[in-house]
Amino acid sequence: MSLLVTGSIAIDTVRTPFGVSEDCIGGAAVYFSMAASFFSPVRLVGAVGSDCPFDLAEVFAGRDVDLAGLEVRENSKTFRWAGTYHEDINKRTTDLLELNVLAEGPPSVPDEFRDSEFVFLANTAPALQRQLLEQVDKPVFVAADTMDCWIEGEPDDLGKLLKKIDCLIINEDEARMLAGRSNLIKAGEEIIGMGPGVAVIKKGESGSLVCKGGGERFILPAYPAAEVKDPTGAGDSFAGGFMGYLAKVGRTDFESLRKAVAYGTVVASYTISEFSLQGLSSIERSAIDKRLEVLRGVTQF
């Protein structure tokens, strides 16, 4: 089934204890699309400025990613982000944030994308996420990401968005903030009460928790990665694997959600193994399936 993603395309500079990657490609839509393309064709909607140094067609060469929704704005600059990860790789400092094109109006969804059945609204202002969603005719399953600044700064807009989506993918700190609950099970229940039927709570190296309306729960640990070089894009890659699998099978029952989370977990393990897209662009689908079997083996007892 058709899968559409809207989100950022970025010029990143990343510093970790393992090295530096300057002016590399990043952004939520990029990581998501690369991850999802292992499972399903992807329709990308995003915007860059005329300064963008990347040829997106070349970046996604060999992947089924449709770039008809890519806007190149001649009088704008591309979103830029720079960050430093510390010895504790879970701790990060933002060194530079230039919204540039992201501070402008959202891109338009092409007419040929408006029939998309699965939609992922990557993290941005909730009002913009709603504007983008309104351009899709009758989506079957809509997932979104958000973050602390929107939870605190735009709660009304976020509340309206939550009533329009089927699934919220969010990290554990943000889940607690949004729900006002320290216990993640309770937080998941509170989030479901706000509108989405499914809450996927990411816990970093501790894995993820899925809560579904009706009391269904699923907890999966992270893939046992021996080396983490760059965590940038891990959450968006997780979402890409998750949504890509669901679009492939065309189902959102609880068993499908469980397997989608497992695939998202495995895909993210490749993202963190190298800088930028190197971990994802160097593998084939067969490698993902092999790691899925490893994950299945270490979680059975």
Say yes or no to pLDDT of 240 above 90. Answer: yes
Residues 203-224, mean pLDDT to the nearest whole number: 93
Q: Residue 14: pLDDT band by 50, 70, 90 thresholds?
A: very high
Looking at the domain 3-296, which fold is it?
UDP-N-acetylmuramoyl-L-alanine:D-glutamate ligase (3.40.1190)
Q: What is the pLDDT of residue 301?
A: 80
Residue with the larger pLDDT of the pair 87 and 37: 37
Q: Residue 205: pLDDT band by 50, 70, 90 thresholds?
A: confident
Say yes or no to pLDDT of 118 above 90. Answer: yes
Mean pLDDT of the chain: 95
Say yes or no to pLDDT of 226 above 90. Answer: no
Q: Residue 220: pLDDT band by 50, 70, 90 thresholds?
A: very high
Write the CB contacts of 200 (distance below 8 Å, at least 6 apart in sequence).
143, 167, 168, 169, 170, 208, 209, 210, 242, 261
Say yes or no to pLDDT of 300 above 90. Answer: no
Domain boundaries, the chain: 3-296
- C-alpha–C-alpha distance, residues 120 and 167, integer Å: 9
Say yes or no to pLDDT of 139 above 90. Answer: yes
Q: What is the pLDDT of residue 261?
A: 97
Q: Residue 212: pLDDT band by 50, 70, 90 thresholds?
A: very high
Say yes or no to pLDDT of 227 above 90. Answer: no
Q: Residue 225: pLDDT band by 50, 70, 90 thresholds?
A: confident
Q: What is the pLDDT of residue 88?
A: 87
Q: Residue 269: pLDDT band by 50, 70, 90 thresholds?
A: very high
Say yes or no to pLDDT of 245 above 90. Answer: yes
Q: What is the pLDDT of residue 90?
A: 82
Q: Give DSSP secondary structure letters for the chain.
A: --EEEE---EEEEEEETTEEEEEEEE-HHHHHHHHHTTTS-EEEEEEEETT----HHHHTTTS-EEEEEEEEETT---EEEEEEE-SSTT-EEEEEEE-GGGGSPPPPPPGGGTT-SEEEE-SS-HHHHHHHHTTSSS-SEEEEE--HHHHHH-HHHHHHHHTT-SEEEEEHHHHHHHHT-SSHHHHHHHHHHTS-SEEEEE-GGG-EEEEETTTEEEEEPPP--S--S--TTHHHHHHHHHHHHHHHHT--SHHHHHHHHHHHHHHHHHHTTSSTTHHHHT--HHHHHHHHHHHHHHH--
Residues 236-259, mean pLDDT to the nearest whole number: 97
Say yes or no to pLDDT of 202 above 90. Answer: yes
State the Cα angle at 235 between 299 and 143, rounded to 5°: 100
Residues 274-292, mean pLDDT to the nearest whole number: 95
Residues 73-100, mean pLDDT to the nearest whole number: 93
Q: What is the pLDDT of residue 183?
A: 96
> How large a percentage of the chain has pLDDT more than 90?
93
Residues 70-91, mean pLDDT to the nearest whole number: 93
